[in-house]
Structure 1
Amino acid sequence: MDEVKVILNHISELQRKVIPEVEQMVSLQKEIPLDRQHEIIKEAFDVFMLLNNNLTHPQIKNDSFIKLYVITLFRAMQHFPEPDVIDFFDDASFYEPFQYFWLLARQPFTQEFYATLLAVRNNQRRIQITMLAPLDSQACFYLNGEKLNICSEKSRRVEFYGISLANRITVWLDLPNNYNDDEPIELFCGDKRVIMIPRFGKSRISGVESLNHLVDILHPGRHLYSADAENLWLFIDRADNADDNAEHFYRYVKNNHPDQAAVFVLSRKSSDWERLKVEGFNLIPFGTEAHRKVLKRCSMILSSHLAYYVRDYLGPRLCNHKKIVFLQHGITKDDISSWINSFDLDLFVTSSKEEHHSISHKGSPYFLSEESVARTGFPRHDALVENIDKETKTILIMPTWRRSLVDRFEGTQWIGLDNFQETDYFKSYQHLLSSQRLKELAIKHNYKVIFSLHPNFVIYKSLFTVPSWIEFLLPGVDETYQSLFKQSSLMITDYSSVAFEMAVAKKPVIYYQFDESSFFSGTHTYSKGYFDYRENGFGPVINEENDLLSALEDFMMKGHIQQPWLSRLNEYDVLNDGYSCKRLWEEIKLRIL
């Protein structure tokens, strides 16, 4: 059956059967059976996704069609009681906007708001919550009748295909000076009681817990390890690789602030181990008892990654009471808020002006406030801008990975797909590497070509057939990232943030996006953000191999990139003055110590 007809039939079913059924039970003061609630929600969700996947259909694009669906769904769900529905949403991993329907449909009929408890800072006597509020409402919070100070606020309009539904507000609230940490917290927004749901775990808060209880819910490990805690900073990049922001910032701290106790965690099997050992790094072998001990003892974790083995190695959320500084491993150009919002971060490090604004400004989708986002520049860029003139005639082919092209995560690495060689990704890059035209261009213009896989795709290294005239290198194993960026004249990538490393060095990029139409389909960890590759990129965006080779030939012949990309490189506003580490040290001391 045509999917549009399925949607129409479902709306008709809601109107003719479901809504009268629900309203009749409510009028008779009967409870709607839980199984029936879940059944209605599941059917509605299936149709919601059909609607979501057919937005280009002329009939669905009509505003009245979508409004009809929204109004009908509101009527069907407004009488569903709370905690069972919320648990059902959580267990079923429902698409977040769909949850808005139930929350918003319920608001006119309840004296309560539902808020997600994001973070607690008991040393600062602050709590952070996020919640949906009516479009015309003003956020005013009260505790025991006393109006609370909002020290930081974000507000973002929630829309469903052009229809404004509500405002999502995220606030840090200061508790009163006379509040005792063991006193109950009964929070109100206007005249409605706020029911807080912890972002971690299934515990529901009745609304009368104490600050100490809230801390225990979000930081279950604080009583286990707080007695052993000391002013020790734990640095880590990847479990099996260094050569990223944590390594470079650790080096700065070691050389400039030797009184600060610090360790660097890394696998003994890493190719970086001996290099850092010779340099005098205080290395702790990853996955050992020594690793577990320093995790329990440390006061702060500084990492370029947020993998579970960085934050949850001792167990889920058992390190939440530690200070977490996310150094990033690439400039954020896309919207990764759905991922970042799942973490409680004390400091998020940014580099470019646009990147910083996209994360910290009041209308952004990120829960992070301005006080938690520091534009210091990346520590590794301090080293990148040194000796940048050591460029050779080298083309670096360095694509990113695809979440849809791996199976699952085990231990410290991704498990590959059995059919990887059948994917467009493999076929496209294998064909490019085997191109006779690419070889002829490299020989004619005396260029070296290097091919480098993303670390998450090292599992596929043996599947690629790379001709002998191309160097097949793994960064952090065969050569450092810094060395590759410094020696390269031009990079060919797809969507990777490593393109910004070339921009920092004022070197051009060609974006080979053979799968442009499908990449932002939602299967990866992000969606499109402020950065548009065609409008803001540092080189041309190309979908076909022949066009890619033509653009490469033009660069090789002229020795430089053309306008408008040359101007973009020269005008790119990123902190690359060699003082990023110094600024970061000062921000950590100022903001979170």
Structure 2
Amino acid sequence: MLNQELQSIEFYFNYHDKYAAAHLVHGWNSRFYWKNDFFIGEEAIIKKSWSSHALVVEKLTKHSLNNTVLSRKKNYKDNFLFERYVDYFESYRNKRIWLFIDRPTTIGDNAEALFRYCANREDGIEKFMIIPDETYYQNFEGVSANIIIYGSFEYKFLLMFAEKVISSTTFWEWVNIDTNIPKYEFKLIVQALSNAQEVFLQHGIIRKTSFSDWYLNSSSKNFDFMITSTEKEYELMRSEDTGFKEKQVQLTGLPRFDFLKNHAENVITFLPTWRIQYSKDDGSYDKHFKESDFFKSINEFLNDENLLELLRKNNYRFIFKIHPKFFVQIEDFDIPEEIEIVSTELSYNEIYEKSAILITDYSSAVVDFAYLKKPIIYYHSIKEEDEENPEYFSYERDGFGEICLSIESVINKVQHYIDNDCLMEEEYVKRVDSFFKYTDKNNSERVYDEILRLPIPNKNKII
């Protein structure tokens, strides 16, 4: 607790037994992000100083809050939000508010699953699920009334006072995609006013050690807590290479596994992975995509007459579940009438529930299907450019199904499974059991309990 109204912190570095003033710079994860010159802490307001090596620390009082926030609102794109922040600061700052979000454009992932598990628990915490638009309200009838639309004023206001943001994606990369001001302008406001802890639930299971080199490490991510599902994944995220501290990573399993269902129909789903090199940064159509071997291999497979005959003969539907980032290229494909294309109209959970067989190249989305112990086929016609570390994960040693290098071998394997009631072979059942730490329905409970153990911010009454 500050005993004085105003203090300063100066930064120096030692070089050959001499001290020199450090020049402070501020990057993507900094509270002083871009043009910010202040942020509101739990007990103090931290401000940039005229000196490049010092910060000013001012005790948080009603006067300092009003003076700092209201005098600076003109520098930001949402004056109304700044005003309401000051108006409701005392009544909201000590509320325990958790926000759950999967993506700005969809739900159905770990955040929704965890929200459904804990929404009505009497723990003194107000929990809110963030949805893309009003069409999703019906999904939560009988679950909770605390459903708010991404980008709405209510969303932005609650984010300023949230204790925790719980997301299946690394949240700050998605912040403000759909609000009424530009993403980077809203990030300024978030970094200045919000002290929310970030809980990262993950979207899947990490199958590449390189993922920690460029994406999941303490230099590029500033979250407070993340979960893992396998022993190897846990060890990778706890390694010195990531820089995460011991309490930041726990082995719990993914909440969405608890809600997986198995009501298989005569459905085969083809789910190729998204490959970043074939997507433009702005998400627009790429006229060169048709020239890639990746496109050609998929198009050839979908149009193989032996595959189409197998579907007709066995009365099976064939669903091509195309990744949302690839959907812009859908016009490139020659789609026979036997093939159904879906993107967002069928959720992954529905795909896992209804499909009897799943075919992929390298997609990590198959882990949910494997969790249900349903047959998987890997079609490796085009080698993935960013290869896995075979010591960490090998498709030959650790994969959940047979690897096929030709269309003919895929078709033969599909027919084999159809002839054997679409049961996962014992070899791969054993791999599933050894791969996951847990194969029960208690993943949400473990995650919820771990989040409850995180420190609660200590916020004293301001005067």
| Structure 2 gap ranges (5+) | 36-47, 59-67, 73-81, 177-182, 457-463
More helix by share: 1
- Letter of the structure 2 residue corresponding to residue 248 of structure 1: A
Match of 2:358, SS?
strand
* Per-residue deviation, 1:202: 8.4
Work out the number of aligned pairs and report it: 391
- Contact between 2:99 and 2:129, CA under 8 Å: does it hold in 1? yes
Equivalent residue for 2:264?
A: 391
Q: Given the alignment of the two structures, is residue 250 of structure 1 paired with residue 115 of structure 2, yes or no?
A: yes
- Contact between 2:119 and 2:144, CA under 8 Å: does it hold in 1? no
Q: Given the alignment of the two structures, is residue 332 of structure 1 paired with residue 206 of structure 2, yes or no?
A: yes
- Letter of the structure 2 residue corresponding to residue 352 of structure 1: T
Equivalent residue for 2:415?
A: 553
Q: Rate the CA distance shift 1:190–1:539 in 2: closer, same or farther, 3 A.
A: farther
Q: Given the alignment of the two structures, is residue 496 of structure 1 paired with residue 363 of structure 2, yes or no?
A: yes
- Contact between 1:277 and 1:283, CA under 8 Å: does it hold in 2? no
- Contact between 1:504 and 1:574, CA under 8 Å: does it hold in 2? no
Provide Cα deviations, 1:56-102, integer angstroms capped at 9, x if missing partner.
xxxxxxxxxxxxxxxxxxxxxxxxxxxxxxxxxxxxxxxxxxxxxxx
Distance 1:297 1:234 in 2: 10
Equivalent residue for 1:160?
A: none
Equivalent residue for 2:138?
A: 274
Question: Which one of the candidate residues 228, 235, 238 is aligned to 1:357?
Answer: 235
Match of 1:296, SS?
helix
Match of 2:148, SS?
strand
- Contact between 2:268 and 2:319, CA under 8 Å: does it hold in 1? yes
Distance 1:317 1:327 in 2: 24
* Per-residue deviation, 1:511: 1.7
Distance 1:360 1:327 in 2: 16
Distance 1:531 1:294 in 2: 41
Question: Which one of the candidate residues 249, 274, 278 is aligned to 1:373?
Answer: 249
CA RMSD, Structure 1 to Structure 2 (Å): 3.6
Q: Rate the CA distance shift 1:322–1:415 in 2: closer, same or farther, 3 A.
A: farther
| Structure 1 gap ranges (5+) | 1-122, 124-179, 214-219, 521-525
* Per-residue deviation, 1:329: 1.0
Equivalent residue for 1:301?
A: 165
- Contact between 2:171 and 2:198, CA under 8 Å: does it hold in 1? no
Provide Cα deviations, 1:143-179, integer angstroms capped at 9, x if missing partner.
xxxxxxxxxxxxxxxxxxxxxxxxxxxxxxxxxxxxx
Q: Given the alignment of the two structures, is residue 318 of structure 1 paired with residue 190 of structure 2, yes or no?
A: yes
* Per-residue deviation, 1:366: 1.3
- Contact between 2:279 and 2:286, CA under 8 Å: does it hold in 1? yes
- Contact between 2:160 and 2:190, CA under 8 Å: does it hold in 1? no
Question: Which one of the candidate residues 353, 361, 367 is aligned to 1:486?
Answer: 353
Match of 2:187, SS?
coil
* Per-residue deviation, 1:360: 1.1
- Contact between 2:433 and 2:439, CA under 8 Å: does it hold in 1? no
Distance 1:584 1:181 in 2: 40
* Per-residue deviation, 1:199: 5.0
Equivalent residue for 1:285?
A: 149
The worse-fitting range, judged by mean Cα deviation, of 564-573 and 311-320 is 311-320
Distance 1:494 1:211 in 2: 54
- Contact between 1:253 and 1:260, CA under 8 Å: does it hold in 2? no
Distance 1:298 1:446 in 2: 51
* Per-residue deviation, 1:463: 4.0
Answer with 1 or 2: which has the greater Rg. 1
Provide Cα deviations, 1:472-513, integer angstroms capped at 9, x if missing partner.
223xx4233222212222211122111111121112322223
Question: Which one of the candidate residues 415, 423, 427 is aligned to 2:292?
Answer: 423
Equivalent residue for 2:76?
A: none
Distance 1:565 1:590 in 2: 36
Q: Rate the CA distance shift 1:260–1:408 in 2: closer, same or farther, 3 A.
A: same
* Per-residue deviation, 1:191: 6.5
Distance 1:189 1:448 in 2: 69
Equivalent residue for 2:374?
A: 507
Distance 2:56 2:396 in 1: 49
Q: Rate the CA distance shift 1:472–1:531 in 2: closer, same or farther, 3 A.
A: same
